[in-house]
A and B are shown apart, each in its own frame.
Chain A
């Protein structure tokens, strides 16, 4: 296996594990390189999600991706949560544990959103200390993702790529570079996504995320509800060129199609890394998603496991 980036392996092309796909995965055991789970959906589960995860982890490499660490919050870290995270990581032999550069709440109120941090020296010091603490508890490097964001703060003193670069230097943490998020934020904040990708520390990128989003005309929303658009694939290719290739994962969280459709979407990555020339039946969906179809557009995350009742 080709080891790289913090000594962590290049797992190949993976898919986010989502409950609508459980029956298909258990029945067909498809040839997938690896799966990423939403940690919070399994931390306390004593039912079917945990049982399915156990079977998946027996067969495939698993990476844990969280949405509630709230590394940027001024609330105290939740050590009960961290202990459960560590325990689950041991249970599934997680190859690494990731979350987002964000805060999710304050004063005990969790928005369940990935809220942006003001990119200041104060925030950098604050997040650095907390990343070090989390890494001490987990006894492994934390991997942090750049979120899609929709506001910038007047007090910001540096771009996100600089913030992330300095954070990795100070803490030794890894980066999960979501190239769709880079694209979404670049539209929302009027920056050059190529400059972003050229500027982050490539040797710290452990993993790449791909996803679809919705272009609202004036801004983009990270909806994870469709295929990856061509400009994002181009950013992916650039990332691949700069990193030499890292584990790549597709997220599809709303209007989730059958598993083979999701899997095929991530396999398109092969085109952009010169690995193989794959023919796909149709790329008709590869356009920018419509701005509205009457439904409410929700920025991710909104991943919830519903009960199965006889």
Chain B
């Protein structure tokens, strides 16, 4: 056998221990064969047996650990997805995800970043007789929201920033209101789903048995306050308004853009609008306001 270089050993071992079908199949795969063209029967040329375990058994510890560890980490991040699909299906989804997107980051916090996208990319075709949202969309929504929780939990926050008070809003002169721009808290995120997945997550977290709900377009604010992730359901108009404001538009322009397609019966009264902003301000969504004059 040729001299065993360190880099070749590492590429061989990585290929073998991350093979989803196990060590024997891993040894026979092209990537491993490229480094050391050995048969499974020749494994002792590379890995020694111990008094109690064969080389296969010993190497299998790493093979088992690779998947078990990463499945456990993703279980922590996507507990509801796992509860909905069951242990075996969840493991299958994770193994497919890891094959498609092997972890590269130094932190396990990045491990689940592409999980929802992986579910979307590998979803089964929609049934021709049911073009609407289906169970695959439901899982994708769930995974998207659970990942969003992780991002907001450990991402930038406003805990050390001054909050905008309701009193500060009252100090804005009435003629300036159309020109007001809101500075959003750093943790602020808007999300839009085809299913009421935040309710499913709440049900499962509180121990209730959750089933797949009927699809309904759902809008959600996800933000953080005092280091805890918070959720605020909003309606479609509120979602569009916040989306426009978050993009930096002044209030009048944002309202115009968000409400241009509204029917008469959907029009929002000034009092209602004022209540929204007081409520959102009290929730800590904003950390400042400015007008064009300020600039």
Is B141 in contact with chain A by the CB < 8 A criterion?
no
Q: Is the CB of A307 within 8 A of B9?
A: no
The main secondary structure of chain A at its interface with chain B is loop
Q: Is the CB of B228 within 8 A of A118?
A: no
Is A276 in contact with chain B by the CB < 8 A criterion?
no
Q: Is the CB of A81 within 8 A of B106?
A: yes
> At the interface with chain B, which of A1-9, A281-289, A295-303?
A295-303
B50 CB to closest chain A CB (Å) equals 6
Q: Is the CB of A113 within 8 A of B66?
A: yes
Kindly state the separation between the CA atoms of A73 and B66 in the bound complex, as whole angstroms.
Answer: 17
Is A153 in contact with chain B by the CB < 8 A criterion?
yes
Which of B3, B55, B73 is within 8 Å of A302, CB to CB?
Answer: B73
Which of A73, A296, A309 is within 8 Å of B10, CB to CB?
Answer: A73
Which of A107, A118, A298 is within 8 Å of B14, CB to CB?
Answer: A107
Contact with A along B59-70 (1 / 0, CB 8 A): 101100110111
B63 CB to closest chain A CB (Å) equals 10
Q: Quick one: which of A3-56 are within 8 Å of B by CB?
A: 40-41, 43-49, 51
Which of A43, A46, A51, A152 is within 8 Å of B48, CB to CB?
Answer: A152
Q: Is the CB of B6 within 8 A of A154?
A: no
Which of B48, B106, B230 is within 8 Å of A310, CB to CB?
Answer: B230
Which of B48, B149, B230 gathers the greatest number of chain A CB atoms within 10 Å?
A: B48
Q: Is the CB of B149 within 8 A of A307?
A: yes
Contact with A along B63-97 (1 / 0, CB 8 A): 00110111011001100000000000000000000
Is A221 in contact with chain B by the CB < 8 A criterion?
yes
Q: Is the CB of A46 within 8 A of B154?
A: yes
Given contacts A48-B153, A308-B153, contact A105 B14 (CB under 8 A): yes
Q: Is the CB of A109 within 8 A of B108?
A: no
Given contacts A44-B107, A48-B153, contact A112 B70 (CB under 8 A): yes
Kindly state the separation between the CA atoms of A155 and B97 in the bound complex, as whole angstroms.
Answer: 34
Q: Which residues of B contact A195 (CB under 8 A)?
A: none
Q: Which residues of B contact A74 (CB under 8 A)?
A: 6-7, 10
Q: Is the CB of A299 within 8 A of B6?
A: no
> At the interface with chain A, which of B39-47, B123-131, B274-282?
B39-47
Q: Name the residue of chain A whose CB is nearest to the CB of B17.
A: A111
> At the interface with chain B, which of A120-128, A162-170, A201-209, A263-271?
A120-128
Is A194 in contact with chain B by the CB < 8 A criterion?
no
Q: Name the residue of chain B whose CB is nearest to the CB of A73.
A: B10
Q: Is the CB of B109 within 8 A of A306?
A: no
Q: Quick one: which of A93-114 are within 8 Å of B by CB?
A: 103, 105-113
Kindly state the separation between the CA atoms of A190 and B53 in the bound complex, as whole angstroms.
Answer: 11
Is B176 in contact with chain A by the CB < 8 A criterion?
no
Is A242 in contact with chain B by the CB < 8 A criterion?
no
Q: Which residues of A contact B107 (CB under 8 A)?
A: 40-41, 43-44, 68
B223 CB to closest chain A CB (Å) equals 10
A54 CB to closest chain B CB (Å) equals 10
Q: Which residues of B contact A123 (CB under 8 A)?
A: 6
Kindly state the separation between the CA atoms of A309 and B187 in the bound complex, as whole angstroms.
Answer: 13
Is A218 in contact with chain B by the CB < 8 A criterion?
yes
Kindly state the separation between the CA atoms of A105 and B15 in the bound complex, as whole angstroms.
Answer: 10
Q: Is the CB of A46 within 8 A of B155?
A: yes
Kindly state the separation between the CA atoms of A265 and B108 in the bound complex, as whole angstroms.
Answer: 28
Which of B14, B57, B72 gathers the greatest number of chain A CB atoms within 10 Å?
A: B14
Given contacts A51-B159, A113-B65, A309-B231, contact A150 B153 (CB under 8 A): no
Q: Which residues of B contact A219 (CB under 8 A)?
A: 50, 52-53, 57-58, 61
Q: Which residues of B contact A110 (CB under 8 A)?
A: 102-106
Is B229 in contact with chain A by the CB < 8 A criterion?
yes
Contact with A along B106-129 (1 / 0, CB 8 A): 111101000000000000000000
Q: Name the residue of chain A whose CB is nearest to the CB of B225.
A: A310
Kindly state the separation between the CA atoms of A40 and B17 in the bound complex, as whole angstroms.
Answer: 23
Is B248 in contact with chain A by the CB < 8 A criterion?
no
A146 CB to closest chain B CB (Å) equals 17
Is B235 in contact with chain A by the CB < 8 A criterion?
no
Q: Is the CB of B154 within 8 A of A109?
A: no
Q: Is the CB of A221 within 8 A of B157?
A: no
Kindly state the separation between the CA atoms of A150 and B59 in the bound complex, as whole angstroms.
Answer: 7
Is B164 in contact with chain A by the CB < 8 A criterion?
no
Is A158 in contact with chain B by the CB < 8 A criterion?
no
Given contacts A68-B107, A154-B47, A310-B229, contact A113 B62 (CB under 8 A): yes
Q: Which residues of A contact B177 (CB under 8 A)?
A: none
Q: Is the CB of B18 within 8 A of A106?
A: no
Q: Name the residue of chain A whose CB is nearest to the CB of B110.
A: A44
Q: Name the residue of chain A whose CB is nearest to the CB of B4.
A: A155
Which of B69, B103, B109, B224 is within 8 Å of A109, CB to CB?
Answer: B103
Known: A112-B70, A297-B68. 18 other contacts (CB 8 A): A47-B155, A48-B228, A78-B106, A81-B106, A106-B7, A112-B111, A113-B17, A126-B6, A151-B62, A153-B48, A155-B4, A189-B50, A190-B51, A299-B61, A304-B109, A307-B229, A308-B153, A309-B228
Nearest 4 pairs of A and B residues by beta carbon: A307-B153, A48-B227, A68-B106, A74-B7
21 A-B pairs (CB sep. < 8 Å): A46-B156, A47-B227, A48-B228, A49-B154, A51-B227, A73-B10, A74-B7, A110-B102, A117-B6, A118-B9, A150-B62, A154-B47, A189-B50, A219-B61, A296-B72, A298-B68, A303-B108, A304-B73, A305-B109, A306-B76, A307-B229
